[in-house]
Amino acid sequence: MSPSTVPDIIVGRLPLYLRELSKMAEEGKEITSSQELGKRLGISSAQIRKDLSQFGEFGKQGTGYNITFLVMQLRIILKVEDVWDVVLVGAGDLGHAVVNYGGFTDRGFRLGLVYDDDPSKIGQMIGSYIVQDVHSSVDDIRARNIRIAMLAVPTADAQTVTDRLVEAGIRAILCYAPTSISVPEGVKVEYIDPVLHLQHMTYYLP
């Protein structure tokens, strides 16, 4: 099925399925069912079956899903069977946390370049990465044909940096800044703002 015809809400659940199935594989499990997967994720088995059916038939009635096979298929669907290089802009506290996070490579991503515009940070090391001047990012990113970026900059800088990333050929941005950024058609943006999630949860508190 064409990516444009699959509802985005379904695409958003696929990484959850992939993460849990990968965990099952690490536990030594070989077969699972939509009921078991749904119980572990808090999603109905009917919804899981409906979501997966958008992309083909992966299980057999009465037998369930082969976990290794389904993991492989989901990685192909999500295009993470290979490793994507990622640019990080922002070398502050959040940037340090991102660099030190060890869970990217085995899930399809690899940090390639780190940028900042603070002269006191440029040239410094974060982990094994040298912080580079963001003003040189367009040529660097184009040369390496990197298409994904993570944005960990102050709100006031988010749009300017975004414009530079788009000019460099970035087509997917994970934005940690607590703001909305404008991008042209064809560029995908996801936001991570902890306050939004906290406010979502407080609605349900007594």
Q: Are 109 and 148 in contact (CB under 8 A)?
A: yes
- pLDDT per residue rounded down to tens, the chain (206 residues): 555 689 999 999 999 999 999 999 999 999 999 999 999 999 999 999 999 999 988 877 667 899 999 999 999 999 999 999 999 999 999 999 999 998 898 899 999 999 999 999 999 999 999 999 999 999 999 999 999 999 999 999 999 999 999 999 999 999 999 999 999 999 999 999 999 999 999 999 99
CA distances to 5, 54, 185 from 2, in Å:
5, 10, 18
Query: Could you tell me if 188 and 155 lie in one domain?
Result: yes
Residue 96, domain member (yes or no) = yes
Q: How many domains does the chain have?
A: 2
* Side-chain-facing half-sphere of 60: CA atoms under 13 Å: 5
Q: What is the CATH number of the domain that holds 62?
A: 1.10.10.10
Residue 107, domain member (yes or no) = yes
Range of the domain at 29: 3-76
Residue 103, domain member (yes or no) = yes
Burial class for 45, CB neighbours closer than 10 Å (0-12, 13-18, 19+): middle
Q: Are 174 and 150 in contact (CB under 8 A)?
A: yes
Query: Could you tell me if 107 and 170 lie in one domain?
Result: yes
Q: What H or E segment, with its residue span, contains residue 142? A: helix 137-144
Among 43, 76, 109, the domain boundary falls at 76
Alpha-carbon gap, residue 82 to 106, rounded angstroms: 10
Name the pTM for this structure: 0.88
CA trace torsion 109, 113, 116, 117 (10° rounding): -140
Residue 60, domain member (yes or no) = yes
Please state whether beta strands 64-66 and 129-133 pair in parallel, antiparallel, or not at all (unpaired): unpaired
Residue 7, domain member (yes or no) = yes
Residue 206, domain member (yes or no) = no
Tokens at residue 25, please? Answer: 């594989």
